[in-house]
Amino acid sequence: MSEQLVTYADFEGIMNQLAIERDWEFKFADELISVESVFNHAMYAPALLAMARMELEARSVPCDLGLQLEGESQSLFGAKVRFDASDPNPILAQIWRLAGTSIAIEMLPRDGRYIVLDPLQYVLGDSYAAYVMAADREIQ
């Protein structure tokens, strides 16, 4: 059986490589952000994948990204992403995740050569705010 490249680690690795090939560089709150952080399952990826899903839905693209967002107090925006292991068509879901995330990144504003990630903090709305607040309480 051939390697299907459908896991989260595969998604992360492909997006990291794509970022290098496309010379993507990122900023958040005027701080440089590593490519690895952008596609980490508990950093920017939950918001990027949610944005990708919204954009594909807005374009009336009938697809299932085969993912779930879960609350996580140790994450940047209060959520982490997990790919659905029971997805009936994981290869197609992975293709849509990669394409949708690339579209989402290209839609973000730019500051010179940097892609600005600041709008991602609003993508999830208040859905995971309780997890962010719980993390703040743990720090204090």
124 and 50 Cβ atoms separated by less than 8 Å: yes
Domain that holds residue 121: 8-139
What is the model's pLDDT at position 136?
Answer: 53
What is the model's pLDDT at position 22?
Answer: 97
Q: What pLDDT, in 10s, does the model give residues 72-118?
A: 988 999 999 999 888 888 999 999 999 999 999 999 999 999 999 99
Query: Could you tell me the two tokens for 130?
Result: 């309780």
Task: Assess if residue 122 is contained within a domain.
Answer: yes
Task: Assess if residue 82 is contained within a domain.
Answer: yes
Task: Assess if residue 92 is contained within a domain.
Answer: yes
Task: Assess if residue 1 is contained within a domain.
Answer: no
Task: Assess if residue 2 is contained within a domain.
Answer: no
Beta bridge pairs of residue 33: 26
65 and 93 Cβ atoms separated by less than 8 Å: yes
Percent of the residues in the chain that have a pLDDT greater than 70, as a whole number: 91
* Total of domains in the chain: 1
| Beta pairing, strands 25-28 & 114-116 | parallel
Task: Assess if residue 29 is contained within a domain.
Answer: yes
What is the model's pLDDT at position 4?
Answer: 75
Task: Assess if residue 48 is contained within a domain.
Answer: yes
Please state, in angstroms and rounded to a whole number, the distance separating the CA atoms of residues 97 and 63: 10
Instruction: Please tell me whether residue 73 adopts helix, strand or coil conformation.
Output: coil
